[in-house]
Amino acid sequence: MLELAAEIGERLARGDRFALATVTAVSGSAPREPGASMIVDVDGRVTGSVSGGCVEGAVYELCERVLAGSGVERARFGIDDESAFAVGLSCGGEIDVFVQAADAAGFAARPFQRAVAGASSGLATLVAGPRELLGRIVVPGGAGAAGAAGALPDDDLAPAGVRGLSAARIEAELGRRIRSGRSGLVRLECDGDDLVFFCESRLAPPRMLITGAVAFAEALSAAAALLGYRVTVCDPRPLFATPERFPAAHEVVAEWPSDHLAGLDVDERTVVCVLGHDARSDIPLLAAALALPIAYVGALGSRRTHEERVRMLRAAGVGDAELTRLHSPIGLDLGAATPEETAVSILAEVIAARSGRDARPLGETSGPIHARADHLTASGAATSGMFTGETFPS
């Protein structure tokens, strides 16, 4: 849904009613990933795609049925090898599609507004469970009142036969998944029909705060932006903190770094890199950053500078537990000399810290090369033909 956040938000704001089809799971090769969506308006206008063309016609018919009042529709479509090859895949697969009617009464606008604004956003749709609850949307952190868009409260669970599973636990489990940034199916066991939600999550780009308007900051901001970070360069000196000197940074601010950090929306992916050499700004910033649950805090400098910095941090009240999180001198030992090489060294350490790796050469390690991630996919018997009309039982 979130890939069509702007289009959905516009329709909700106008009070439109429309059909929304969403890919909830894939097995094998498929043209689109879970979360791919298609809108069909009451006048038949189509926006978006669930399969790159392979099964759009069949999904359109399901949308028409939903708009005519059939309730929700669920179907599994098998994409044969020939059809898959036509859309650039080596072999066929299957996609599960969930179709529901949408309007402002059942859809909270907030997650779509946040997605359009580039902020982290997420929501969960009940795709399997008691028939009367199918299609209900849960937005963790919502009001939670009975009948409210974005809520599935206890008052609605009990009449549907859901026992042993509270609204608070549902919201907590779904919120945890959404905050992970991974979209997919989540099954919650209970007395009665288990609840299966499709969680869709879109995280804002991770933030990197670089302090010190120096040549190293220019190189690091350019390299970090290529890796997808939202980069801010901060320095209290307006003469040096200018956008012209740091064209790759998203923001360049002339402010005391500790003050700027206090106003940022940080999370467990945030990176702070101190590249200046002014204890008046560096020590307050490091003390504040090390107290936050963020991914990485590093500081540039020689070993002598590091020892003096640690002494001042201790004097400022920073404890041993916080100091163990300080990456200083910053970066991996790559033999870096230039600002650009130093940027590679710093980002290599950031990646290693994020993935929990020890940064040894791959030739000296064993086991998986890539960091593992959980991918939830649907499984089922293979189908022949471009699609099947299999509709999931309620």
- What is the pLDDT, as a whole number, of residue 269? 92
β-bridge partners, 123: 200
- Collect contacts of 51-56 with beta carbons under 8 A, ≥24 apart: 51/23, 51/77, 51/79, 51/87, 51/95, 52/87, 53/87, 54/79, 54/83, 54/84, 54/86, 54/87, 54/386, 54/387, 55/79, 55/95, 55/97, 55/386, 55/387
**What's the Rg (C-alpha) of the chain?**
25
Q: Which of 61, 126, 118, 32 is nearest to 394 (CA)?
A: 126
Pick the closest to residue 275 from 345, 323, 360 (CA basis).
345
Instruction: Report pLDDT for 262.
Output: 95
Domain ranges of the chain: 1-15+122-204, 17-102, 207-364
Q: Please report the pLDDT score of residue 82 as a whole number.
A: 55
Give pLDDT, residue 394: 33
Angle between helices 339-355 and 215-226 (to 10 degrees): 50
User: Cα separation of 175 and 199, whole Å?
Assistant: 9
* Sequential pLDDT tens for the chain (394 residues): 999 999 999 999 999 999 999 999 988 766 778 999 999 999 999 999 988 777 888 999 999 999 999 889 999 887 665 555 444 444 457 889 999 999 998 898 999 999 998 888 999 999 999 999 999 999 987 644 444 567 888 899 989 888 889 999 999 999 999 988 888 999 998 887 789 999 999 988 999 999 999 999 999 999 999 999 999 999 999 999 999 999 999 999 999 999 999 999 898 899 999 999 899 999 999 999 999 999 999 999 999 999 999 999 999 999 999 999 999 999 999 999 999 999 999 999 999 998 888 888 878 877 776 665 433 222 222 222 333 333 333 3
The predicted pLDDT at position 87 comes to 44
Name the nearest CA neighbour of 162 among 214, 197, 206. Answer: 197
CATH of span 207-364? 3.40.50.720
How far is Cα 65 from Cα 48, in angstroms, rounded to an integer? 18
To the question of pTM greater than 0.85 for the whole model, the response is no
Give the 3-state DSSP-derived string for the chain, with helices as H, strands as E and coil as C. Answer: CHHHHHHHHHHHHHCCCEEEEEEEEEEECCCCCCCCEEEEECCCCEEECCCCCCCHHHHHHHHHHHHHHHCCEEEEEEECHHHHHHCCCCCCEEEEEEEEEECCCCCCCHHHHHHHCCCCEEEEEEEECCHHHCCCEECCCCCCCCCCCCCCCHHHHHHHCCECCCHHHHHHHHHHHHHHCCCEEEEECCECCCEEEEEEEECCCCEEEEECCCHHHHHHHHHHHHCCCEEEEEECCCCCCCHHHCCCCCEEEECCHHHHHHCCCCCCCCEEEECCCCHHHHHHHHHHHHCCCCCEEEECCCHHHHHHHHHHHHHCCCCHHHHCCEECCCCCCCCCCCHHHHHHHHHHHHHHHHHCCCCCCHHHCCCCCCCCCCCCCCCCCCCCCCCCCEECCC
